[in-house]
Amino acid sequence: MAGIECKPDLTPRRARTYPGVMEKDLEPTARRLREAYAAGPIAPLRDVLDPTDIDGAYAVQAINTAHWIGEGRRLAGRKIGLTAKAVQAQLGVDRPDFGALFEDMRVADGGRLDPARAIQPKAEAEIAFVLGRDITDADASPEAIAGAIDHAVAAIEIVDSRIADWKISFADTVADNGSSAFFVLGDDPKPLAGLDLYSCGMVMEFNGAVVSLGAGAACLGHPLNAVQWLAHTLAARGQPLRAGDILLSGALGPMVALTPGDEVRTRIGGLGTCTFTYGA
């Protein structure tokens, strides 16, 4: 598909079964993170996880994802994070990360998010994709990735951290479900045909004032690069993306901290707008 350039260095390593990682040893860490949603933020996880411990961090995330599904939460898709090279450099890594999206994390377009449900939230503008077909091939081509997408919409991700003061390492954010919290999807779905997802502009406003600017190219060079990375990574782990999955592809510009009362609006070229209010 024209405009998509998925570079070879984005191809993930084949999945490993967390060598040397025992789930029983990480269950207390996973429980700490779960309890922080209600009890408040906790110290960084450096007593258990080295800051770049990829396997251990995803093992903790997997424990909590399984726990929440067991409690009846419905998996709605995935979010991709760390798609900006500057943020990767800040955390000392050379790759994106991912987390789980659950249906109860969704805020209606034009809806409200009660501040009592968040800890230290920030908003970022993204392009979301909804799959029309499964992606099971760990080497799926850019054309296959694009062909599996049903539509795209403007989106806002509300990220949050259960780690105090956002003092996160790569392992902290991965273990903490990619620092995910909530998301908003626009209500004007668009097929990929005719969209310029590389140079499309993004504007995010708080209370009518511009707070963040960006473009599609800010997301790993192209938002579909991020989707391909995720599809390859999850297929290699034996957890392929499925039809109907919502995929948040990564920030198009800087995230901005939320204050109760903020009215947030994102506009993305070709995709329209989505909005929410951070208030009870």
Residue 246 lies in a domain: yes
Domain coverage including residue 87: 16-278
Residue 102 lies in a domain: yes
**DSSP structure string for 209-264:** EEEEEEEGGGTTTSHHHHHHHHHHHHHHTT--B-TT-EEEEEESS--EE--TTEEE
Say how many residues make up the chain.
Answer: 280
Q: What is the pTM of this model?
A: 0.90
pLDDT band at 18 (very low <50, low <70, confident <90, very high): very low
Total number of domains constituting the chain: 1
CATH number of the domain encompassing residue 235: 3.90.850.10
Indicate whether 22 pLDDT > 60: no
Residue 1 lies in a domain: no
Residue 6 lies in a domain: no
Residue 122 lies in a domain: yes
Residue 4 lies in a domain: no
Pick 24 or 76 by higher pLDDT.
76
Residue 7 lies in a domain: no
Q: Determine the average pLDDT of the residues in 105-118.
A: 98
Residue 10 lies in a domain: no
Q: Determine the average pLDDT of the residues in 248-274.
A: 97
